[in-house]
Structure 1
């Protein structure tokens, strides 16, 4: 019985992801012990807040453009 190539590729990528899970946890543990995990969290929070602020300002600008002209 032959295996479909796409099924084989999917299974292979799943195995690679599973096998790489170990070092990722070690990296997170190292960041946590050094206290650098807080730096990562703060940077991610700043980026997400920046994106949120940009989306809010963009929404306000679009809302102003959608309002009919009163002249």
Structure 2
């Protein structure tokens, strides 16, 4: 399992390096525009539901990728032997 996490680490770091500037620009633009939808979601407390759903989806994708990597590693070892 540690081996699969080591393999995923560069990909995750690259993804973060690519997404952080985009998120920074998006945050600055959102602060300047102040969309009404975000205000209404925040006032009703539904913004937490949106954040929770996004978090669950991303966690599910990461779990799927990690399990797929483990399966592929096991198959590669079988083919080598």
TM-score (norm 1): 0.62
1:27 Cα offset (Å): 0.3
State the partner residue of 1:10.
none
Pairing of 1:1-71 with structure 2 (within 5 A): 25-67=35-77, 68-69=80-81
Q: Distance in 1 between matches of 2:42 and 2:36?
A: 10
TM-score (norm 2): 0.55
More helix per residue: 1 or 2? 2
State the superposition RMSD in angstroms. Answer: 1.7
Higher relative contact order (CA 8 A, sep 6+): 2
Aligned positions, number: 49
Structure 2 residue runs without a partner (length 5+): 1-32
Structure 1 residue runs without a partner (length 5+): 1-21
Q: Distance in 2 between matches of 1:28 and 1:59?
A: 37
Kindly provide the CA deviation profile for residues 9-67 of structure 1, in whole angstroms up to 9, marking residues without a partner as x: xxxxxxxxxxxxx6x81001100010000000000000000000000000000011111
